[in-house]
Amino acid sequence: MGTYDLLFEKVLTRTDPERAHHASFRAIRAAGPALRAAHLAPRAGAGAVEVMGIRFPHRFGLAAGFDKNAVGIDALAALGFGHVEVGTVTALAQPGNPTPRLFRLTEDRAVLNRMGFNNDGAAAVAQRLAVRAEKLDRSGRRPELVLGVNIGKSKIVPEDDEAAVLADYGSSTRLLAPYADYLVVNVSSPNTPGLRTLQAVERLEPLLAHVRRTADAASPERRVPLVVKIAPDLADEDVLAVADLAMAQGLDGVIATNTTVRRDGLRTPAAEVEALGAGGISGAPVAVRSREVLRLLRERLDGPALVSVGGIDSPAEALARVQAGADLVQLYTAFVYGGPLLPRRIARRLVAFDAAR
């Protein structure tokens, strides 16, 4: 058993998961300079790939949800991530759902959450990103890291009021698109009431078109790639409908998948899971469906990039997703169980794969 495994078993599993997350993230941010000096990230250029017209240092990144407020981007990059997706950010600051709202399912190497898009709001995050950009400009340092910004609907906006939904996403887009290397429209979290109804093509089409127009107006000097993130719980025909829409609208990519509301096949006793309440499950239980959605999209998509996330917990699994057609791969939950050295191991495996091609 490694050092992190002991820490996880003896300390972290006895700590409230949300408190443990914040403490771990503070430690990563504080250790940022030392992490960069330790050269945990792969050597620059070794496994670089071009996806969505962007040069990624390698295919492996951190999914949205870990750094909701863009407070530790560069420290996370120093762990070995080639891209970091911040958010989900909403137009309005919101506290999220009542606590407790984050739970470990350790027997399943999974997490159940109902965070509810808790974040500081688009204006605060945009200001943070502006300060970061200014510091980078002054230093003359251009990091290889690619920055994704994931946006979602504010909870108070009724999902059946199309004009209000468009205005809400539009507000976030105007503020954040100028700082994003790519922009993600999140319509797939189960923890904002009604959000997943926006995945229906008739609802999704005008939303994506509005975000595209708004992003172009907010960043006229460059075209910000636009991506949509979908749930694993969509029926196969709905997955294919989203793929067709992505191609029809000229989207730059699809991220598959978000968390699942399904509870079948878990090792954790059903009564224990039921007692935890509502929320989306991430981690190992999502892997099978995530692979299925990857296959469906790869067979259908012609043009948009494909980002696979959900149950990626090892270098072997990350490589398998790439070999199955993913252009990029992301993790989150495995970071909790695998510890801070896992990103380096995965990144190096993918870099070796691409360098040998």
Active site (annotated) includes residue 189: yes
Q: 256: part of which helix (H) or strand (E)?
A: strand 253-256
- The runs of H, that is alpha helices, within 149-235 are 162-176, 201-218
333 annotated ligand binder: yes
Structural tokens at position 99: 């606590």
- The runs of H, that is alpha helices, within 95-197 are 122-139, 162-176
Radius of gyration (C-alpha) of the chain in whole angstroms:
19
What is the rounded CA–CA span in Å between residue 246 and residue 100?
A: 36
114 annotated ligand binder: yes
197 annotated ligand binder: no
257 annotated ligand binder: yes
| Amino acid, res. 207 | L
29 annotated ligand binder: no
Per DSSP, what are the bridge partners of residue 104?
111
* 8-state DSSP, 29: H
90 annotated ligand binder: no
**Cβ atoms of 148 and 64 closer than 8 Å:** yes
Q: What angle do CA 263, 264, 267 make, to 5 degrees?
A: 90
69 annotated ligand binder: no
179 annotated ligand binder: no
Other Cβ atoms within 10 Å of 219 Cβ, number = 18
**Cβ atoms of 305 and 298 closer than 8 Å:** no
337 annotated ligand binder: no
Per DSSP, what are the bridge partners of residue 307?
255, 328
Helix, strand, coil percentages (3-state) for the chain, rounded to 5, are: 45, 15, 35
Asked if the peptide bond before residue 257 counts as cis, ω within 30 degrees of 0, the response is: yes
What does each C-alpha distance from 232 to 101, 151, 152, 179 come to in angstroms? 21, 19, 17, 29
117 annotated ligand binder: yes
What DSSP assignment string belongs to 295-343? HHHHHH-SSSEEEEESS--SHHHHHHHHHTT-SEEEESHHHHHH-TTHH
97 annotated ligand binder: no
- Residue 63: strand, helix, or coil: coil
191 annotated ligand binder: yes
70 annotated ligand binder: no
82 annotated ligand binder: no
* 8-state DSSP, 94: B
Instruction: Determine which one of 188, 189, 219, 290 is catalytic.
Output: 189
64 annotated ligand binder: yes
152 annotated ligand binder: no
Catalytic residues: 189
Q: Which residues are annotated as a binding site for substrate?
A: 68, 113-117, 186, 191, 258-259
Q: Which residues are annotated as a binding site?
A: 64-68, 88, 113-117, 150, 186, 191, 229, 257-259, 283, 311, 332-333
Q: Which residues are annotated as a binding site for FMN?
A: 64-68, 88, 150, 186, 229, 257, 283, 311, 332-333
